Amino acid sequence: MALQMTTTLLCLLCLLRFSTLTDALHVDVAIVGGGPGGLAAALALKRSSPVGTTIRVFEKDSFEPKGGSILISKSGWQALRDINPVLCATLEPRIRSTGSPVARVAVEGFDASVPVMSRPARGLIKVVNGAYTVLLGITKAANFLFRRNWLPPRFRLMHLWHDVRGCLADAVREECGDGAICTGHTLVGLTEKEERGGEGFELEFEVAAEGAAAEVLTVSCGAVLGCEGVGSTVRRLAAKEPKANEVFVDEGRSVWRGIAPGVDARNKATFYKGGASTKMSNNRGASGATTSSAVVAPAGKDKGASWAIISPAVEGRSSGSEDARRRAAAALKAACGSSPVPELLSEAVGASTMVVEHRIMVRDFSEGAPPYAAATAGLSFLGDAQHPVRPTGEGVALAWADAAALGSCCAEAVAASRVSLPPGAAPALFSVEDLAGILSAYEAKRLPEVQEVSERVRADAEAFYSVQGKMPT
């Protein structure tokens, strides 16, 4: 009797385990990359897809704190509303509550020999700074008097990338279910099922297991969306020809970023520029002078200060956080020359818990550049994995606009399918061909705006990096 009960219990446990794995192994859309772009794509697809569509986000980390601070532009907030206006009514205030207002702006040179701004421009900045300071003071006074928590002036808010991602992850779990985000999954293989006589894709993930060796999980899906940044593993694994995944151009600039929790930026963003200029070429082939630049700004609500340093490219790459800090300090010293390093910038670099280094990469839109659309039907990219831009506050905005466009194309496909349905009938789930068509329509829809924004950001960045540049907007 005991043996029979034990056998029955084991069978039930195996059945439960098999059922769970079956649900996790077969999905309609696999989103690789759980950053703000990938999570926004999940929300957009959930809203616009037929009921029953399975969407999973696979992220290699465990959502531990990382990343620098970001500025969400006006177009970014609008894109978030376009993804899901009803959800955004609660999601936007959640994200905004994590931000720290930038009430004042200053632009300085690394040394006194650099004429950063004209006298009228400096006067205009003082007027704008004064207006922001007054508005911030009124908001704080109103919060105290009326026991409310009204947000400070919304013109400019700095957020930690990690905080924004956390708010979006909570929203995905609420909308798509707790199992919609799979953490600790590192993509190691991608195969088109067509090569094996099937449809869709087969993905292989190494799944981290605490205290044990990683296991390999195979996921079958109808479509794949790569949202894992410039070094997209999806793009590398999907490349059918040598160098087919080399669609980005190295801008010839090194960037260091960090968060200094103990440094108070006092609601002020300070931009630095100058240093010895070098020659570089942009993605159109035109060459020009570039100088070093840096910024110290609020990192997010009660999160200290964030900073970034941009310099002409430094050979090699850092081996870790401390090496990145050393290389950043060296680049900063070179930018300042014989002048002392600005005290606030020096303090922020020294107090950072982690420093990261990377190169500025941009999408190549020049003649003869690789096509914007992916070579594989049913597979596409979003955010920096599709179109990285220079650091001027447009990266997240473009990723969210991508997600909104993807949701729009998905909704249009559903609307088209309803035409042939009886009144009140629910649309059928997307086929593999349907998903491929939606991704193709999404790429065509995004190309004109992405190219226009990339060109505008390029012009703004080049103007700021040049000696006679302007304050970034």
For the chain, the domains span 22-98+161-245+370-461, 103-155+251-360
pLDDT surpassing 80 at residue 148: no
The model's confidence at residue 393, banded by pLDDT at 50, 70 and 90, is: confident
pLDDT surpassing 60 at residue 16: no
The model's confidence at residue 283, banded by pLDDT at 50, 70 and 90, is: very low
Q: Given this model, what pLDDT does residue 306 score?
A: 94
Q: Given this model, what pLDDT does residue 131 score?
A: 65
Query: For residue 48, what are its two tokens?
Result: 């616009």
For residue range 446-468, what is the model confidence (pLDDT) as tens digits? 999 999 988 887 777 666 555 43
Query: How far is the C-alpha of 132 from the C-alpha of 82, rounded, in Å?
Result: 28
Query: By C-alpha distance, which of 80, 112, 109, 75 is closest to 93?
Result: 80
Phi, psi dihedral angles at 33 (to 5 degrees): 120, 115
Token pair 């994995």: residue: 385
pLDDT surpassing 50 at residue 193: yes
Considering Cα of 4, then 8, then 14, then 15, what sign does the dihedral take?
A: positive
Higher pLDDT, 16 or 128: 128
SS3 155: coil
Q: Given this model, what pLDDT does residue 200 score?
A: 94
pLDDT surpassing 90 at residue 277: no
The model's confidence at residue 329, banded by pLDDT at 50, 70 and 90, is: very high
Token pair 């035109």: residue: 286
The model's confidence at residue 8, banded by pLDDT at 50, 70 and 90, is: very low
pLDDT surpassing 50 at residue 163: yes
Query: How far is the C-alpha of 109 from the C-alpha of 274, rounded, in Å?
Result: 6
The model's confidence at residue 156, banded by pLDDT at 50, 70 and 90, is: confident
Q: Given this model, what pLDDT does residue 465 score?
A: 54
Superfamily holding 22-98+161-245+370-461: FAD/NAD(P)-binding domain (3.50.50.60)
Query: How far is the C-alpha of 334 from the C-alpha of 160, rounded, in Å?
Result: 28
pLDDT surpassing 90 at residue 234: yes
- Give percent above pLDDT 70 in the chain: 78
Average confidence (pLDDT) over 332-355:
91
Query: How far is the C-alpha of 199 from the C-alpha of 77, rounded, in Å?
Result: 37
pLDDT surpassing 60 at residue 4: no
Q: Record the pTM.
A: 0.83
SS3 248: strand
Q: Given this model, what pLDDT does residue 397 score?
A: 94
Q: Given this model, what pLDDT does residue 189 score?
A: 96
**Average pLDDT, whole number, for the chain?**
83
pLDDT surpassing 70 at residue 197: no
For residue range 64-78, what is the model confidence (pLDDT) as tens digits? 888 888 989 889 999
Task: Rank 14-23, 138-147, 329-338 by mean pLDDT and report only the highest.
Answer: 329-338
Phi, psi dihedral angles at 62 (to 5 degrees): -110, 30
